[in-house]
Amino acid sequence: MFVQIQNLSFHYSRKQNPVIDHFSLSIEQGEIVGIVGASGSGKSTLLRLLAGLEDPTGGSIELDGRLIVGDRTYIEAEKRGVGMVFQNYALFPHLTVCENICFGLHKLKRSERKERLGEMLELVQLQEFAKRYPHELSGGQQQRVALARALAPAPSILLMDEPFSNLDTNLKSLIRMEVRDILQKANITCLFVSHDQADVDAICDRTIYIDCATYVGAEKETVSV
Amino acid sequence: MNKSIWLRELRRRTNSWFIVTMLGAIIIVMPVAYVILSFFQPTSENWQHIKEFLLADYIKGSLLLVGSVGFLSTVIGLTLAWIVAAYEFPLRKQFKWLLILPLAIPPYIAAYTYSTMTSYTGIIQSYFRNHLDYQFTPGTIEIMSMRGAIFVLTLFLYPYVYMITLHYFEKQSSTYIESAKTLGLNGFQLFFRLVLPIARPAIIAGAMLIIFEVLSDYGVASFFGVRTISTAIFQTWFGMYDIDAAMRLAAWLLIIILGVFMLERFLRKRRKYDTNVTQSRPLARKKLRGLSAWATTLVCLATFFAAFLIPFIQLIHWTLKTYEKVWRADFFSLMANSLFAAFIGALIISFFAILAARTINLYPSMSSNLLARVMTSGYAVPGAVVAIGVLALFITLDEKLAFLYPKLLGVESGTLVLSLSIAMLITGYVIRFMAQGFNAVESGYTKIPPSYREASFLLGRGLTYTFWKVEFPLLRGSILIGFALAFLEIMKELPLTLLLRPFNFDTLATRTYQYAIDERIYEAAPSSLLLICLSILSVILILRFEEK
C-alpha cells in the first residue's frame, strides 16, 4: 500500500472528545480518494495530520514505505514531500504567480527550476498570467495556481481541502473537470476532502464517508466521470 | 498521551526560536520577581522608619490620587465619547480626533505649565490684575498640591477612556441601542439603563489604563509635592541610597496593582460581553438643533482648550522667548542621547516582540498565552518599580561578577560596571515598553492566515526561511508601527530614565523635568514642545493602527 494509516487518533484538548478516533485507511498509488463528511467530522483534520500540520495523539502513518508519524517518529511537514491545496488557497499575496509556483523548488538547479515552472504553467494553462499577483486573478485561476504550486515539487501525494468551496456554483462543474484533467495528467495519488457529494463524484475513484469523530467504514466505489 | 509521544513533542518544539523567546521572557520577569522577593528579605532600619511614619501616608496618597483621577477622567471620557458617537453637532468630525490630543502632552509638562499659568505672576492673574484691576485671593485659582495633581492627571488622561469607549460605541453598540430605542428608551434613560451597562468592559479597559498611568506617575506628583509610593521610591533611593527599602516600596505598589486587577476580575464576574454581531452597522447619530447643538460644541471646545490648546499655546509663547538660549550644542547632545536610547531600546523590543508573537502564533497553548501575558506585563508595572527591580538586579550582577572585572576589563576590583552602564537603562526601557512592540506585531500576526505558513512548510521550507520570505514581508507594517510606538514612549519616559540613567546622561525628558523643578519654566518650554510634537506623531500612529 502506498499510504497506510493505522489507528490514528487526535483530540484538541484532553477535555474534549477525540476528533479522530482509531482511524485506519490505505490508499494505493495513483488512486484519487475522496472523503465526504459533515463539517466538524474531522475530515480536514485528517488531511492536516497526514501533512504534518497537526500532531496525532496516537497511531501511525506510513507514506511510500516510510514511517512519517509513529510513537517515536515525527517527520516535520517540510520533510514529508506532501503537497496540499488549501481551502483558501493560501497563495502568498506578496509574490507573483511564478514566484508562488517556484517557492518549493529550492532543491532544483536554476535551469531545472525554470523548466519545471514552464511545465506547471502549461499544465494549468496560466502562461500569460505568470507575472500577476494573486489578487489580480479570478477564483478559478487562483485555484489553478495553488494546484500548480502544490504539484511543482513533485510530491508523493496531493491533499486537497475543500478546494471548490470558494467558487461560484455556475463555475464549479467546469472547474471540477479541469482539476480532474490536471490530476490525471499529473498522474498523482490524491486525497480529496469535501462536504459536497457532487465534487467527489466528479473527481474521485473511491469515496470514504466519515461521520463525527469515528470512522464508520462505509466505503463504496464511485463511478468516475 | 503516552510518554514517548510527549518526548517527541518536546524535542520538536525546542528549537532556537523557542529558546531565545524564553530568554526574553526571563529577562522581563527577573526584575519584577526580584522586587516581589524583597518581601522575604530581612528589613533595614530605614524601612522600619518608613513603615512606622510614612508608608500609610504614601499608600493613602496613591489611592486618593488613583481614585479621584480614575473616577473623574472616566466620567469625562465616557461623556465625551457618548456625545461624539450618538449626536450630530457642529464640528463633531473635528472634535472626534481633537479630543484625543491631550494624550500627546506628557502630564508632568502640563503640570508645570498650568501651575505657572495660574500662579501670581502667571498669565491669568496678571491679566486680571493689570487689565481688569481684579486681585484673586491667594489660593483660589492656583493649581497646586493634591488638587493640582488630580486636575492635571484627569485632564490629560481622560482620552484613554474616550478612545476605547468611542470605538466600542461606533463599532459594536448599534444593534443594542436601536433595539432599546424601539422599546421606548431615550435620552438619559437610554444612557443610564443601556449604554452604561453594555459599555462597561470598554469603560473598565480605559479606566485600567488610566489607573496604571496614575500609579506610574512620578513627574506630576513630585512637582506638586504629593506623597505617593512612586515618589517615595525616588526619595528612598536618592535620599537614603537604600535599595532594599526602595524595593519594599515597589513591592507595595505591585500589591496595589494586583488589587486593581483582582477588582476588575471581581467586577466582571460571570458576565460575558462579547458581541456576537460581527459586522454591526455604525450607530445612527441623532441630529441636535439650535441651542443644544451649540452647547454641545461648546462643551467639546472647552475641553479641547483646557486639555490641549491653552497649555500648547503657552508653551509656544515661552519657546519663542527662550529658544535662542536653549538652542545650543548641549541641546543637540540631549537629542542625540534621547534618540540613541530610544532607537536601541525599540530595536531590542521589536526583536523580542517578533520572537514572542511568532512562538505564540506557532504553538497556541496555555503556556504560550502565559508567555504573552508575561511579555506585556511591563505596561502595568510602574516605571519606578521596573527601575528599582533592574537596579537591584544589576547591582547584584556586579557583585557576583566583580572577580571577573579586573582580569577582563583591567579595572580595579570593586568597580561597578554593569550598574553604571547604559545597558541598565535600556533593559528598563525594554521591560517597560515591550507591550507596545509586542501588541503591534501580535495583531499583525493574527491577520496572516496560518495556512500561508503551512503552505510554505509543505513546499519544503523550514521555520526560518518561512519567516523571512512569507511572514516578514507581510508583517513589515506592523513591526514598524510597534517600533515607532516603543521609540516614542521611550523618548517621553521620565521616572525610569531618572532612576536608571548613567551618570551625566541626560535626555530631553529628564532635562525638561530638571528645568521645571528648578523653576526655570521658560527654558523647559522648547524641549517640552518637541516632546509634545513627537507624542502627536505617536497618537496619529495609534489612530492609523486602530483604523486598520
CB-count exposure of residue A188 (10 Å: 0-12, 13-18, 19+): buried
pLDDT in 10s for each residue of chain B, 548 residues: 567 777 777 776 677 777 888 888 888 888 888 888 887 877 777 788 878 778 888 889 999 999 999 999 999 999 999 999 989 999 999 999 899 999 888 898 999 898 888 887 787 787 788 888 777 777 777 777 888 899 999 999 999 999 889 988 887 777 777 777 777 777 777 888 888 888 888 888 889 889 988 998 898 998 898 999 888 888 888 888 888 888 888 888 888 888 888 887 777 665 555 554 445 567 778 888 889 999 999 999 999 999 999 999 999 999 888 877 777 767 888 888 999 999 999 999 999 899 888 888 887 777 777 777 787 788 888 888 888 889 888 888 888 887 777 777 777 766 777 878 899 999 999 999 998 888 888 888 888 888 999 999 999 998 889 999 999 999 988 898 888 888 888 988 888 999 899 888 899 899 888 888 888 888 888 888 888 988 888 788 777 776 66
> Which of B1, B2, B457 is nearest residue A77 as measured by Cβ atoms?
B457
In chain B, which residues have their Cβ closer than 8 Å to the Cβ of A81? 460
DSSP letters, B131-192, are HS---PPTTSS---HHHHHHHHHHHHHTHHHHHHHHHHHHHH-HHHHHHHHHTT--HHHHII
Name the strands in the sheet holding A58-63, side by side, starting at the edge strand that comes first in the sequence.
A20-27, A3-10, A58-63, A66-69
- Identify the structural domains of chain B with CATH numbers, from first to last: 62-227 (1.10.3720.10), 330-380+434-547 (1.10.3720.10)
Does the beta-carbon distance from B456 to A83 stay under 8 Å?
A: no
In chain B, which residues have their Cβ closer than 8 Å to the Cβ of A55? 5, 8-9, 12
ipTM value, please give it.
0.83
Which of B431, B422, B396, B430 minimizes the C-alpha distance to B500? B422
CB-count exposure of residue B272 (10 Å: 0-12, 13-18, 19+): exposed
> Which of A51, A73, A104 is nearest residue B460 as measured by Cβ atoms?
A104
Nearest CA in chain A to B461: A78
In chain B, which residues have their Cβ closer than 8 Å to the Cβ of A77? 454, 457-458
Which of A163, A173, A176, A156 minimizes the C-alpha distance to A75? A156
Does the beta-carbon distance from B449 to A90 stay under 8 Å?
A: yes
Does the beta-carbon distance from A88 to B449 stay under 8 Å?
A: yes
Which of B380, B478, B376 minimizes the C-alpha distance to B434? B376
Does the beta-carbon distance from B12 to A92 stay under 8 Å?
A: no
Give the C-alpha separation, B296 to B281, whole Å.
25
Does the beta-carbon distance from B455 to A80 stay under 8 Å?
A: no
